[in-house]
Structures are given as structure tokens and as C-alpha cells.
């Protein structure tokens, strides 16, 4: 019923194209955020610069022919830090950098108290982006488990309780996005698998409260509001029942580097909802060709019903430059468009 209601509202073509959320964080974007934090760039000027970056991202996506758009996240320094700065119960260090991978570093927040959301965190940016286009605009949120996993967490209560507090705060944001007319909300959970305890006997209790936290964050939305989640860095074949229990309408996953082998488990399991397997690796500046991506899509359609497939990159595009981003997305859209006639005939 939810799938039918969403398809009636969104009216997307077969193999709908989208991205994971972030677009290139240029030196100008980083400089503006740093100046705003120092107080040398006023709020009005900062808002104007960020809105200009959002408009650039929207216009670029429209020109490329993407079906579901994102605002690009120019205003966000990090997918956890950005939300922690706006939620009660978090504190931040000035120089507490931790290596993420390679030369990429993050500053994990200190989650010391009860979590609450005093005000909307993303609604204004998302609504502005939606006002620029008639195409669906995704609201972009970080999920409760990932915020928990990528923070230094209080140890005076169970992690499950802290995660539930975060989930209710994210749920408030989802409700506000829906009330503002946003038809698709993505709640990213790239860290859900890395939270698994070392002892396999403890997996079930963890997965029970982790999947429950995700369901809380997305609960109460109308059938016509589509919930997405994104996961990367992981293999999921051994926890597919729990992934299904999250009950996201669409899951996007990192699969291109495995040549779609990671997707086979979803096919064998008969995953009930829609899936966007990544068709190109965003960790490299290399731009794959149209046929290369089309081959991966054909391979995906062998294990997942084509009517349930989305087309997207592996992950967000924050670390890439605009030239390779535009070239790769143009090829991705062309690959999807080339396969649509055969899909419709089938």
C-alpha cells in the first residue's frame, strides 16, 4: 500500500535516478563556513552564499536529468557534527580530530546528556531547495544509530536508551519535513553494521534496539511519504532480516566495487522494498562510462525485480570535484535512460 501511494504521488520513471546527498565541498564553501564560525562573515551573507550553492546544486541536477534531487549539504561540516551542534546533550572539542580514512578526519561530539531537539535543523534549507524545482527534493538526515556510533557516548545508561532519545529527536525533524511538503526523507545509517558487538551471541540484542531506533525515527509518516536510508562501508548479507526489519521504503547501498556481488544476498533473501545499488565508486576521481554502469544495472536486475531498482552512486559526493561529479552523473543518467525501454517492454 505504501509503495502504491508513493508511486502515485511521485510519478517517477522506471529506474529513477538520484544521488546520496552531498555534493562537492569546494574551498569557497569551506571558507564561508569557517568565516561564519569565526564571526567574520555575517549571518545574512552566510545564508546568501549557502543558498547560492544550493541553487547551483539544484540547477546542475536538473540539467543532468536526475529524477529525485538533493540540496547538496553545503551548510554541513560533517554528517554527525552538524546535527550534534543543534541537539541538546552534545558538546564539541575544538581540536579533537579523529582519523576517518586516509587523510579524512572528523571531530566526534561528546554525547554527555539527555538528547532533545529544541528547533528544526534542516527544514529551512530543504524547503528552500524544493522551492527551486518541481522535481522531488529529498530531506537529508543522519540516523540515530550512526549519530550514536560516531560520538563519544555517556556510559551512565544503556546505549540503547541514548539511541532511542536520538531517534525521537530525528523523528521530530522527519515530521516537520513532511509537514513542510517534502515527499522523500532519507535517514542515513552507514554505521549500523559497525556497531555489532564482537561476540556474535550479542548481535541480536544490539540489532533489536538499533532497528527499533530507526523505526522510531521514521514512524508516523503518511503512506505517501517515502523513507529512504543509505548504508555503506559494509557487507549486509548476514544481517538481511534485520535490515528488512528497519522497513525503509528504499535502501541505497555501496555495491559498485564488488561488481554487484553484495546485492546477491538481497535477491536471495527477496528483500521486500526498493533498492538503489551504487553503480559507481565515489572514492576515485575516475569517471566510468555509460556502458560500464549499464552493465552493473543489468546485473542488478538479475537478482532484484527491475521495478524495485533505483540508480545512484555508491555514496555521497562531498569529497569529489565538480568536473568528475557532473561527468559521472551524466553517464549514470544516460545508462538509466538507455535501459528504461527494455524494462518497460519486460
Residues labelled catalytic = 283
- Residue with cell string 555534493: 23
> CA-based angle 114:229:245, to the nearest 5?
85
d(CA 267, CA 283): 26
CB atoms within 10 A of CB 159: 18
Q: What is the 3-state secondary structure (H, E, C) of the chain?
A: CHHHHHHHHHCCCCCCECCCCECCCCHHHHHHHHHHHHCCCCHHHHHHHHHHHHHHHHHHHHHHCCCCECCECCCCCCCCHHHHCCCEEEECCCCCCEEEECCEEECCCEEEEEEECCCCCCHHHHHHHHHCCCCCEEEEEECHHHHHHCCEECCCCCHHHHHHHHHHHHHHHHHHHHHCCCCEEEEECCCCCCCCCCCHHHHHHHHHHHHHHHHHHHCCCCCCCEEEEEECCCCCHHHHHHHHHHCCCEEEECCHHHCCHHHHHHHHHCCCCEEEEECCCCCCCCCCCHHHHHHHHHHHHCCCCHHHECEECCCCCCCCCHHHHHHHHHHHHHHHHHHHHHHHHC
Residues whose CB is less than 8 angstroms from the CB of residue 53 and which lie 6 or more positions away in sequence, other chains included: 29, 72, 74
d(CA 293, CA 15): 13
Amino acid at each position: 500500500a505504501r509503495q502504491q501511494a508513493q508511486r502515485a504521488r511521485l510519478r517517477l520513471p522506471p529506474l529513477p535516478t538520484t544521488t546520496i546527498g552531498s555534493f562537492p565541498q569546494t574551498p569557497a564553501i569551506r571558507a564561508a563556513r569557517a568565516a561564519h564560525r569565526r564571526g567574520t562573515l555575517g549571518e545574512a551573507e552566510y545564508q546568501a552564499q549557502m543558498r547560492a550553492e544550493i541553487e547551483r546544486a539544484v540547477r546542475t541536477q536538473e540539467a543532468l536529468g536526475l529524477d529525485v534531487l538533493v540540496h547538496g549539504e553545503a551548510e554541513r561540516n560533517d554528517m554527525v557534527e552538524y546535527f550534534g551542534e543543534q541537539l541538546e546533550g552534545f558538546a564539541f572539542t575544538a581540536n579533537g580530530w579523529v582519523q576517518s580514512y586516509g587523510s579524512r578526519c572528523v571531530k566526534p561530539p561528546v554525547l554527555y546528556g539527555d538528547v532533545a531537539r529544541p528547533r528544526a535543523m534542516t527544514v529551512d534549507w530543504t524547503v528552500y531547495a524544493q522551492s527551486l524545482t518541481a522535481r522531488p527534493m529529498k530531506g537529508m538526515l543522519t540516523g540515530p544509530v550512526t549519530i550514536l556510533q560516531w560520538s563519544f557516548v555517556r556510559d551512565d545508561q544503556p546505549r540503547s536508551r541514548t539511541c532511542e532519545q536520538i531517534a525521537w529527536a530525528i523523528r521530530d525533524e522527519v515530521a516537520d519535513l513532511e509537514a513542510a511538503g517534502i515527499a522523500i526523507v532519507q535517514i542515513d545509517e552507514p554505521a549500523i553494521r559497525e556497531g555489532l558487538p564482537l561476540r556474535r551471541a550479542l548481535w541480536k540484542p544490539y540489532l533489536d534496539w538499533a532497528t527499533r531506533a530507526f523505526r522510531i525515527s521514521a514512524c508516523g509518516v503518511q503512506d505517501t511519504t517515502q523513507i529512504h536510508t543509505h548504508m555503506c562501508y559494509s557487507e549486509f548479507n548476514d544481517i538481511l532480516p534485520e535490515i528488512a526489519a528497519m522497513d525503509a521504503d528504499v535502501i541505497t547501498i555501496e555495491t559498485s566495487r564488488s561488481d554487484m556481488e553484495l546485492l546477491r544476498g538481497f535477491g536471495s533473501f527477496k528483500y521486500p522494498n526498493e533498492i538503489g545499488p551504487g553503480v559507481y565508486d565515489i572514492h576515485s576521481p575516475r569517471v566510468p562510462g555509460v556502458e560500464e554502469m549499464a552493465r552493473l544495472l543489468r546485473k542488478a536486475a538479475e537478482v532484484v525485480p527491475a521495478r524495485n531498482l533505483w540508480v545512484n552512486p555508491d555514496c555521497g559526493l562531498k569529497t569529489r570535484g565538480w568536473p568528475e561529479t557532473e561527468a559521472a552523473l551524466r553517464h549514470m543518467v544516460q545508462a538509466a535512460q538507455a535501459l528504461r525501454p527494455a524494462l518497460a517492454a519486460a
